[in-house]
Structures are given as C-alpha cells and as structure tokens.
Amino acid sequence: MKEYYQKIAQSLQFGLQGAEADKTYLITYTHILENSVTFFQTLPTLGLKKENLFILGKPYSTVPKAEAALKAEGLQVKTIGYPRDWGDIDAATDIDLHELVLGIKKQIGSDKAHVIVMESGGVMRQEFYETFKDNPNVHLTGLELTTQGDYHPYLYPTVDVALCRAKKELEKFCVAENILDNFVRKGLMRKDWIYGVIGYGAIGGEVAEQLRSQGFEVKVFDINKQAVPEELYSDLELLLPQADCIIGTTGHSSLNKDALPLLKKETVLVSTSSRDTEFIDFLRETKVAFRQEEMFDDLEIKLPLDKKIILINGGFPINYNRLFAANEYEMAMVYGLWLAGMTKAYALEGKAAHKVPFSKEVQALVVKIWLDFYKDKLLPERVCCGQDFLVSLGEGNKK
C-alpha cells in the first residue's frame, strides 16, 4: 500500500530532501487505526524526518496495536486527552497538547521551520498559533480533515479537506458500513427494533438508508425537515417514544433532559460523532455519573422515571472503538486525500488566516489513483461511485 501513497506524492511532485526535510514538522491529531499505519509509515519515505513527525491519538479510537506498530517505526506517537468527566476531552487534550507544543518549540529553537498542523476538529489551532505567531522563523500552515474544524477560528492558512466533494461523497459509504459492522458485533441489529436517527447529513443519511435497505424500520429527525425523505421523517417528540435505538449523527448535542420522559423504558444510545458530544447535555442534565475506568465501555445506566439507557462506547462514537477499523482499501481514498492536502499545505505561503479550497483537479487525481490501485479490492458499487464522481468532474468515462 505504500506504493499507492508514493504514487500520489509523485504525481503532486512532493518529496523533501536535505535542509527542507530537516526544517519541516508535521503534527496530526487523529484516529490511530490499523488501517492508517501504512499511511503514517509512508511519510518518512517522502522525506519527513521521523523525529519531526508527531502523531497524536484520540483516546476513544486509538488501537493499541496500531500505536505500538508506529512507535516501533521510531515515529513520535502519543495518545492524549483522556477525559475525567463528560465533555472533558477537549480540556484534557489542551493540557497534554500544551506540553507537547512546548517540546516542539524547544526542538526548533532559533532555526527556520515549517510547521504543518494536520487538524481533525480544530482543537490544535489556537495552541500552535499562540506559540509561534511572533516567531518570524516559523511558517505555520495547516489542513483540516473534519467539518468540526469550522467550530474553531482559522488562524493561519489552512487547506480545507473536510468539505471537499470527494470526501463528502465517497467517505460516507465506508464510515456507514463500519458503523453497522460494529452494530453487528455488538448485537445491535434487531428486526424487532425501531431505529431513530437524529441528523440526516452525509453519515446519518447513509446509515439510515443502509438500515432501511436491509429491512429495518427507521425514523429520522433533522432540524431541516426538507432534507429528509417524507417517508422517513418524524418529529423528535414522536420519534423518541418509538425508538429502541437512537443514533446521534449531528456532530453536536442532540438530546437534553426534556427527552427523558419521552424515552421508552429501555433505550440504546449510539453516537457516530466526534468525542462524547452527541448526548452530552442529556447525560449532564440527568446527572449521570462519569465512570473513568469504564469510559469506553457499553454502560447500562438507570435513570429517573424508571427509565434505563444502554450507552454504547460510553457515549463515544461507535465508528472507531479501539478494536475494529474500516476496510483499509476503502479508507485508502480518505488517506490519499490527507496526503494530497498535506502537500498543498506545504506549498501555502503567507500568514493570513484563511481556508484554502481543495481543488477538484487534486481530488480527481487521488480518486483516479485509488481506483487504479484498488478497484479489484473494492465493492463493485464503490467502484461505480468513484467512476461517477470522476464523470461529474469531467475527468472520466462511466464504464
């Protein structure tokens, strides 16, 4: 798989040598999954120095085996931000991140350096900006991988990978399939259940459609009623009393204490969002105690009004549960976009804070190479989606 990433870098004429390699730093905060190991192992072959490559793992999604493999390669790997309470992960991350950034600052010293911040939600942006904004020797650029990044201000030139069409249109299938694979592993696929999906964006919509296509009863609430097919839509106050399993996909808090009297006697709560965001207000307002020793477990919680919830993964996303990861060949497209975004972030000039769109030409290049390498490994419908995407950009012919 290294050859795939190297082909993308070669096509974009990216490779670091000599002094430019010595002065380039890459810091990323992301899910450390088994299917991402090869991606990170490839970066030193493109000229990035291992001592300048920092991979920070999210505590709810880091796979210990993957973390160990990267450490064995000599990369700077650390899982940060273990929470101590509901919603504490950002504060805990800030503490660990501050210490790490001070270490990078010391490592750079008075030398010239280009620091590339590969963001997954914007949580590192402020810390790096405050640390290096007055240092004329440090050129700071970034790339944003998720839409959560828009909740934080952009403080230096940043390539917007999160909202590019290739990611929005092709990643959702892989993520939704991984979510439902984990449903199967946890025994959550029940024909006698009604599934309530809150949020009908890229992921919520795909999860709802895949459940429905498999014969499950699905009801959907979204604040934009017009976005939801009429046969699926339900007002929230009608959805909650019917749903045996509530799937939160909004990316922010989707329930509060007002939901409690509407829930069934027993309800399964599943998040597909970053961190423990999806049910945070509900958990706080119903005074559910945080169990740090069981923070990523499936928790059975008794509530007032003789209600009970099963909180899957402790309210953290089911997408990545420290054990299983999505299909590596499908995820290779996403990691290919990361790599292409990194090369574009490396080329950014100036200090003005702004988002830089991810060009359709670069997106098409990544998807073409992905299909060339892995079309025999992908589901036929995934190949078809990739080809349709290229046709929509005027970059290919439907076969």
Span 155-176, pLDDT tens digits: 999 999 999 999 989 988 888 9
Classify residue 176: in a domain, yes or no.
Answer: no
Residue 295, domain CATH: 3.40.50.720
191 located within any domain: yes
The pLDDT value recorded for residue 27 is 96
Statement to judge: residues 311 and 363 lie in one domain: no
Structural domain for 89, as ranges: 2-167+324-392
- Model-level pTM greater than 0.85? yes
Residue 294: the pLDDT is: 86
Shared-domain flag, residues 160 and 207: no
pLDDT value, residue 321: 65
How far is residue 326 from each of residues 72, 179, 232, measured CA to CA in Å? 23, 9, 27
Clarify whether residues 116 and 261 are in a common domain: no
In a domain, 181, yes or no: no
Residues 155 and 27 in one domain: yes
The C-alpha atoms of residue 147 and residue 162 are separated, in whole angstroms, by 5
Domain count, the chain: 2
Does residue 234 lie within any of the structural domains? yes
Q: Per the domain annotation, does 117 fall within a domain?
A: yes
Please name the residue that has the structure tokens 């399993």. Answer: 245
Residue among 141, 114, 169 nearest 333 (CA) = 169
Together in a domain, 355 and 272: no
**Distance spanning both ends of the chain, measured CA to CA:** 25
* In a shared domain, residues 6 and 115: yes
The verdict on 238 and 286 lying in the same domain is: yes
Q: Alpha-carbon distance 371 to 374, whole Å?
A: 5
Task: Determine contact, residues 273/318, Cβ cutoff 8 Å.
Answer: no
* 78 and 133 in a common domain: yes
Same domain, 207 and 300: yes
What are the start-end ranges of the E strands in 135-216?
Answer: 138-144, 158-160, 194-198
Tell which of 290, 315, 340 closes a domain. Answer: 315
Q: How many CB atoms lie within 10 A of CB 151?
A: 11
Whether 37 maps to a domain, the answer reads yes
**Helix 89-108 and helix 125-132, axial crossing angle in degrees, nearest 10:** 30
Q: Is the pLDDT of residue 397 over 90?
A: no
CATH code of the domain covering residue 133: 3.40.50
* Residue found under tokens 């290096």: 132
- Assigned domain for 180 exists: no
Per-residue model confidence as pLDDT tens digits over 48-73: 999 999 999 999 889 999 999 999 99
By three-state DSSP, how is residue 114 classified? strand
| CA pair distance 160, 359, nearest whole angstrom | 10
Let me know whether 298 and 331 are in one domain.
no
* pLDDT tens per residue across span 186-240: 999 999 999 999 999 989 999 999 999 999 999 999 999 999 999 999 999 999 9
CA atoms within 13 A on the CB side of 287: 2
- Please state the separation of Cα 52 from the chain's center in Å: 23
Looking at per-residue confidence, does 353 or 327 come out higher? 353
- Longest CA–CA separation in the chain, Å: 67
The string of pLDDT tens digits covering residues 126-153 is 999 999 999 999 999 999 998 887 888 8
Which of residues 289, 315, 341 is at a domain's end?
Answer: 315
Query: What digits encode the pLDDT tens for the residues 11-22?
Result: 999 999 988 999
Same domain, 109 and 206: no
- What is the average pLDDT value for the chain, to the nearest integer? 92
Q: Where residue 325 falls among pLDDT bands split at 50, 70, 90? A: low
Last residue within a domain, chosen from 297, 315, 333: 315
Under the banding of pLDDT at 50, 70 and 90, the label for residue 316 is very high
Do 7 and 132 fall within a single domain? Answer: yes
Would you say residue 331 has pLDDT above 80? yes
**Residue 174 in domain:** no
Q: What are phi and psi of 125, to 5 degrees?
A: -60, -50
209: its two tokens: 């459609």
Could you tell me the two tokens for 387? 């080809």
Sheet with 138-144, strands from edge to edge, namely 76-79, 53-57, 24-30, 113-119, 138-144, 158-160, 355-357
pLDDT at 398: 53
The pLDDT score that the predictor gives to residue 122 is: 86
Q: Do the strands 113-119 and 138-144 form a parallel or antiparallel pair, or are they unpaired?
A: parallel
